[in-house]
Amino acid sequence: MKKLFALVVAFAAITMSAKAQIDFGVKGGLNVTSMSLDAKVLDSSNQMGFFIGPTAKFTLPVVGLGIDASLLFDQRSSDVELETNEGYVLSNKIKQQSIQIPVNARFAFGLGDAASVYVFAGPQFGFNLGGNKNVFENAAEWKFSSSNLSGNIGAGVMVLKHLQASVSYNFPLGKTGEFEVENYFAEKIGKNGSKSSGKMNAWQLSVAYYF
């Protein structure tokens, strides 16, 4: 992760030294989160969340190429139901607040001065702020990882060189967190003390305005 971050910083430095055009703005949008878990669960329901924060766009001196980077406050959650060995159903909401730093390479197709369509992909660095623990009635505990790496892929449209709208898919490249079984009541999801990992994926709809 450190090596990848160093490469991103180096790429940004090269971009700036090449007299790239830099535009600053603000970005916000919605997360539609889904959970994938190693543990046996009855249901994992999608939940809406949001993200917002400053963003910057670097346009390279090569037609259509650029990168963008953002510093986002991100909130996402999912309702999870677990079944115990005695058939009881335990439910709780897994909720996370984090700082997310997506850095995307982008390629735009011009539609004249009024609009352009672009595709993008890149890494996203996440740092957990809250929601570290969720206890399922002393049967199991969910803990978020302090940091995580994920990837983005998506497409969007830029209108009048200022307003941008996009849709993307954010997928983890490692575990988002893990369950730890606390006692025998949760044998259906693992033995006492065992751990099962989980991942949070998200479809994201975003709007950005560049000044």
Distance (Å, whole) CA 183 – CA 129: 28
Higher per-residue pLDDT: 124 or 41: 124
Residue type, 126: G
Beta strand segments in 71-139, E:
72-83, 89-110, 115-130, 133-135
- Whether residue 176 has pLDDT greater than 60: yes
Contact 55, 27 (CB under 8 A): yes
For the chain, helix (H) and strand (E) counts, in that order, are 1, 12
- pLDDT, tens digit (0-9, with 9 covering 90-100), for 185-203: 666 677 777 788 888 899 9
Fold for 25-191+198-210, please state it.
Porin (2.40.160)
Number of residues assigned to the chain:
211
- pLDDT, tens digit (0-9, with 9 covering 90-100), for 59-94: 887 778 999 999 999 999 888 887 777 777 878 888
**Domain layout of the chain by residue ranges:** 25-191+198-210
- Whether residue 21 has pLDDT greater than 90: no
